[in-house]
Amino acid sequence: ILNVEQSPQSLHVQEGDSTNFTCSFPSSNFYALHWYRWETAKSPEALFVMTLNGDEKKKGRISATLNTKEGYSYLYIKGSQPEDSATYLCASSNQGGKLIFGQGTELSVKP
């Protein structure tokens, strides 16, 4: 994988559903993986930064895991709420600091 890839591209769920997205990134020369939440007409908001294989982070109903050996990260949202509707971006960084962003997963949560 030369680029950062996210799937699915978009997701429509009902309020209360739990959901997850995938971010795949180059495992060679990996340094850090960032997750962002980006609401329409706003700026990206940092959710997590992860560096270690097996790392797991949690913020409220949102959590993320990291597998640096196989080059993927999962973002989970438990009990989705309409206010969770946003685009979720991941970005991978190498040791040189260059960040490569995925195209994002657009989440829509219907009440």
Partner 1 sequence: DSGVTQTPKHLITATGQRVTLRCSPRSGDLSVYWYQQSLDQGLQFLIQYYNGEERAKGNILERFSAQQFPDLHSELNLSSLELGDSALYFCASSEAGATYEQYFGPGTRLTVT
Residue type, 21: F
- Two tokens at 48? 């997590």
Least gap, CB of 50 to partner 1 (angstroms): 9
Least gap, CB of 53 to partner 1 (angstroms): 14
**Alpha-carbon span 8 to 37, nearest angstrom:** 15
Token look-up 């949202």 returns 77
Give 80 or 107: the residue with its C-beta nearer to partner 1: 107
**Alpha-carbon span 48 to 60, nearest angstrom:** 12
Question: Where on the chain is the footprint of partner 1 (CB under 8 A)?
Answer: 31-32, 34, 43-46, 49, 51, 89, 91, 93, 95-104
Least gap, CB of 111 to partner 1 (angstroms): 28
